[in-house]
Amino acid sequence: MQELLRIAPVIDDLGRLFTDAGHEIYLVGGSVRDALLGVLGHDLDFTTSASPDQTEALLKQFTPTTWAIGKEFGTIGALKKSDGAQWQIEVTTFRADVYRSESRKPEVAFGDSIDGDLIRRDFTVNAMAINLATKAFVDPYGGLDDLADGILRTPSTPEVSFSDDPLRMLRAARFAARLGFTVSPDVVTAMKDMAERIDIVSVERIQAELTGLLLTDEPREGIDLLVRTGLADRFLPELPALQLEVDEHARHKDVYQHSLTVLDQAIELEKARGHEPDIVNRLAALLHDIGKPATRRFEGAKVTFHHHDVVGAKLVTKRLKALSYPTHVVKSVAKLIDLHLRFHGYSDGSWSDAAVRRYVRDAGDELERLHMLTRADCTTRNRQRATRLRRAYEELEWRIDELAAQEELDALRPHLDGTQIMEVLGLKPGREVGQAYAFLLEHRTEHGPIPEDEAVEVLRAWWAERNA
């Protein structure tokens, strides 16, 4: 009731406008769910008996800012300012869509009742409505009870619901994670039996749902649901492949469960270090070990995964491209996976200045994310080892800060730029200038900054030796 009172200036005026014109209008779906949970934002969804043309005409009386981008699907949008607040509104005509088996895109049909509109929605907790004229609560499919019990069910049978729109199976995982709800057994069974139906959904929509799931506060249960039901096999098979059989000698930990724990810890670090939810950080945490199944070898009494970082970077590049992730996301995730073992080469020894510079140089713009991934990747139950690793990484970060203050590590460049190199060596732009640049960058990494005149002598000596 408090939430309804908060939005009363908007819904009361909107309700009167539609009712006086002879139409029904309801607050519906996620807006009702979030109001009941006390987390309603400024995006409000409504459904109405009015046609799209009638809705558009009425909303133009309600606010000067409207748009009809979704009109062919019955949706008219509007922006309403009231009492210092700004509300984004969408009003959709009652729907009674028809689906064909080969597509999740419905043949749009408009309905004539609120109950008929609600039964076509994904879950009962999203199939509740409030009549704006009478304030009557409409809940024909038990959404309020399910919301109270923390259960995800479908208004119709899950088989019908998922056959109509297979993407709802991924939404089940996202809502389970976001709301902390349990998915009902019949829904889980239908997800297992109908997993292959997700193949008719575009990769862009699948990627959007996966991203939405990963960006929730606690995505672990939702991710695990996708693996348990076989849905992940259809679009991210490298993830369930991490369920490597642990041999009788327990020569390696459960890589899949380890990856979920790393994801949990990466999210905790993200929050602790003051970052917003970051899809690159979370994809890298979840998939950092996807190269292990291909590289697992048994060597006497132990198991090895040599070069799984390199193999994993290649696998993740191919998979994320297939899922239509933006190029910058693909490159960043691959780079983090390629570098995620770098710290362990030094964790038991001391870091030279050159090693610190090289670590920073290779990480580049991904240094902060690499800090989080490396820290999150420590899941050992051995407290002594965990403490040793944590202290070693704290020392590394301290060394990076110390050297950065002295040498501007965040902008690590060679002693001379390309123009200076060409002047000193009498070269024109070309491959040899790039080779000289790479040599000076490595010299800078290994020895630290030197005066410009000394850098010129070092460059000339290298050039003379190279051409001897």
Successive 10-residue mean pLDDT values, the chain, 468 residues:
78 94 95 91 94 95 92 92 87 77 64 90 95 93 96 95 94 96 97 96 96 97 97 97 66 80 94 92 97 86 86 97 97 96 69 80 88 88 77 77 63 72 84 84 79 87 86
Query: What does R_g of the chain's alpha carbons equal in angstroms?
Result: 29
**Cβ 186 vs Cβ 158: under 8 Å:** yes
> Cα separation of 351 and 343, whole Å?
10
Are 196 and 144 within one domain? no
> CB-based burial of residue 354 (10 Å sphere; 0-12 exposed, 13-18 middle, 19+ buried)?
middle
Last residue of a domain, one of 205, 235, 265: 235
pLDDT of 247: 47
Per-residue pLDDT of 77-131, as tens digits, reads 999 987 778 999 999 999 876 556 565 566 667 888 999 999 989 999 999 999 9
Q: What single string gives the DSSP state of each residue in 409-451?
A: GGG---SS-HHHHHHHHT--SSHHHHHHHHHHHHHHHHH----
Are 2 and 98 within one domain? yes
pLDDT of 446: 79
Domain harbouring 324, CATH code: 1.10.3210
Structure tokens at 118: 């609600």
Are 93 and 122 within one domain? yes
Are 280 and 404 within one domain? yes
Domain harbouring 186, CATH code: 1.10.110.30
Owning domain of residue 187: 151-235
Q: Three-state SS for 88?
A: strand
> Cα separation of 288 and 373, whole Å?
9
pLDDT of 103: 58
Three-class secondary structure assignment of 270-306: HHHCCCCCCHHHHHHHHHCCCCHHHHCEEECCEEECC
pLDDT of 428: 83
Q: Which DSSP state fits 254?
A: -
Last residue of a domain, one of 185, 220, 235: 235
Taking every pair of C-alpha atoms in the chain, what is the biggest distance, in angstroms? Answer: 94
Are 72 and 179 within one domain? no
pLDDT of 157: 94
**Count of the separate structural domains present in the chain:** 4
- Residue 83 Cα distances to 9, 79, 135, 210, angstroms: 8, 14, 22, 37
Are 250 and 197 within one domain? no
Q: Which of 233, 251, 242 is nearest to 308 (CA)?
A: 242
Are 219 and 332 within one domain? no
Are 142 and 156 within one domain? no
**Cβ 270 vs Cβ 281: under 8 Å:** yes
Are 248 and 359 within one domain? yes
Chain position carrying tokens 């309020």? 144
Are 4 and 97 within one domain? yes
pLDDT of 102: 60
> Cα separation of 29 and 36, whole Å?
11
> Cα separation of 256 and 238, whole Å?
10
Are 170 and 145 within one domain? no
Q: Which of 110, 195, 122 is nearest to 152 (CA)?
A: 122
> Cα separation of 86 and 102, whole Å?
41
Taking the whole predicted model, whether its pTM rises above 0.85 is answered as no
Residue 26 bridge partners (DSSP): 47, 131
Are 275 and 318 within one domain? yes
Strands (E), 85-128: 85-93
Q: For the chain, count helices (H), then strands (E).
A: 23, 11
> CB-based burial of residue 327 (10 Å sphere; 0-12 exposed, 13-18 middle, 19+ buried)?
exposed
pLDDT of 246: 57
Last residue of a domain, one of 125, 149, 173: 149
Q: How far is CA 49 from the centre of its chain?
A: 37
Contacts of 13 (CB under 8 A, 6+ apart): 62
**Cβ 310 vs Cβ 331: under 8 Å:** no
Domain harbouring 35, CATH code: 3.30.460.10
**Cβ 84 vs Cβ 102: under 8 Å:** no
